């Protein structure tokens, strides 16, 4: 079962919430897994430039 809040641009396979093409969905999921490390690195960079 699926619910759509907007029209689909073109007929194709879609995945995820928000609805996106499977390739884009997988890419987004990979990035989400890296967010904690990215946040830690960004914090270190900010600390370093605020001498």
Q: Give the list of residues 6+ apart from residue 4 with CB closer than 8 angstroms, or none.
A: 19
Position 8 in a domain: no
Number of compact structural domains in the chain: 1
Q: Which of 14, 15, 16, 18 minimizes the C-alpha distance to 5?
A: 18
Q: What is the pLDDT of residues 12-31, one digit of tens each?
A: 777 767 778 889 989 999 99
Answer yes or no: are the C-beta atoms of 22 and 13 closer than 8 Å: yes
Encoded tokens for 3: 């619910």
* Residue 10 pLDDT class (50, 70, 90 cuts): confident
Position 49 in a domain: yes
pTM: 0.53
Q: What's the pLDDT at 37?
A: 97
Position 18 in a domain: yes
Alpha helices, DSSP H, located in 1-51: 22-49
Tell me the residue range of the domain where 40 lies: 14-51
Position 32 in a domain: yes
Q: What's the pLDDT at 7?
A: 73
């Amino acid at each position: 079962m699926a619910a759509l809040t907007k029209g689909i641009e073109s007929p194709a396979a879609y995945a995820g919430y928000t609805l996106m093409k499977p390739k884009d969905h997988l890419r987004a999921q990979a990035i989400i897994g890296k967010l904690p490390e990215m946040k830690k690195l960004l914090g270190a960079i900010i600390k370093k430039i605020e001498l």
